[in-house]
Amino acid sequence: AAAEAEVRLLLQEARESIEAARSYRRELQQRLRGLHQAREQIKESATLTRDVLEQHFSDLKGTLKKLLDERLMSLLQEVDVIEQESIKPLDECQKLIEHGVSTADDLLREGESAVDGDVGTQNEKLCNFTKKALHIQLDSLPEVPSLVDVPCLSAQLDDCLLTILKNQIFRHGTVASRPPVQLEEFVEKPGGILVRWCKVDDDFIPQDYRLQYRKSTASHFEDVYVGSETEFIVLHIDPNVDYQFRVCARGDGRQEWSPWSVPQIGRTTLVPHEWTTGLEGYSLSSRRNIALRNDSQSCGVLYSKAPTYFCGQTLTFRQTVGQPDRRDSLGVCVEQRNGYDSLQRDKAVCISTNGAVFVNGKEMTNQLPAVTSGSTVTFDMEVVQLGPCSNEGGNFKLRVTISSNNREVVFDWVLDQCCGSLYFGCSFSYPGWKVLVF
């Protein structure tokens, strides 16, 4: 018996050692995969960085050559203009002198003919020649500018430009091994993802952030947010589809953006919130997440297509305002009920456009600011008491927080049934109201 016990103990120890060895091997394999991913990230980012540097400096050389060619052409044109403007008066003076030489030649020939002519006609020829010579004013000569008075073109080239360019080029561009901001968290939203990021370089002072995303099957990223906040809700996200995100930052007083963070994958499993179609008083956007109160005289409550709001989530309404009415409402309810013109009824909580809060049709003493254009109204709920699902009443309690214009009210909403999900809805008496839900 003692021998069998010892064997069983040894077997148990052996099994534990085998399991420890398997766990150790799994951990080592996981770390090998991590090393492989790290190596691939280094290689891929290095290849991308080389491509970016080569393309940038190729573009830079092309731009510099174009600018130098344009400057050369401008200087050559300036030389042409100065040359033409300076030679023009000389050409005019030359024409005047050449005309004078021609006139003098004619006069010389006439004078020589008069002197050497026949005696009978010599007197008349000499008289005519003398009058002509006096009329020409042989003592008047055109002014010819001296060499010191005419332009002498030269090129003035400052060699310090090469020194300045050399210093600027040697300081142009840097290679960073780690971006100053990184993606921090992804939070699922109905039809969207809340993306949060943080600064990881203590010496970096950010001015703006730039968030991009793409479907994992797409080839190009696109901008989705540029601003000073460190989080953003990306809407119009297809559920159960992987998206890649990356973020960069721009330093205080700088124009260029920092290197991109390591791309990370985010997804949402929550279907997007949608308004139900077919209610005459409302027009919907193509994605059915925006409802517009139209000019129809028909009234009623516009509900969500399905009970897509769950406790623990944040339901957000963003609206453009129209003419308010005390029966207007934005809120959530247990069930859809036709025949009502407002959510100010039983089994519903809502806020009116004037800021009044209603719970099961009763107005609370606490009031929020009136709804304004572009502001958001949010609903947050959590279960604080859960009893057996029955019709006896008072077994299900939700703690509700409604926020609007930086103010909030908190209260307990008692229901007589368990509610795993809720509908949302809105009602407006007058046209012009537009509500985005997410």
pLDDT of residue 30: 92
Domains, the chain, in order of start with CATH, read 15-171 (no CATH), 181-268 (2.60.40.10), 282-437 (2.60.120.920)
pLDDT in tens, the chain (438 residues): 778 888 888 899 999 999 999 999 999 999 999 899 889 888 988 898 899 899 999 999 999 999 999 999 999 999 999 999 999 988 988 898 888 888 888 888 877 777 776 656 667 777 777 777 777 766 677 788 888 888 888 888 888 888 888 888 888 877 777 789 999 999 999 889 999 999 998 888 899 999 999 998 888 999 999 999 999 999 889 999 999 999 999 988 788 888 889 889 999 998 899 999 989 999 999 989 999 999 988 889 999 999 999 988 899 999 999 999 999 999 999 999 988 999 999 999 999 999 999 999 999 999 999 999 988 999 999 988 765 554 444 578 899 999 999 999 999 998 888 887 899 999 999 999 999 999
Residue partners of 183: CB distance under 8 A and separation at least 6:
195, 196, 197, 245, 246, 247, 261, 262, 264
- pLDDT, residue 320, reads 92
Confidence (pLDDT) at 118: 66
Q: Can you give the pLDDT at residue 97?
A: 87
Write down the pLDDT at residue 304.
95
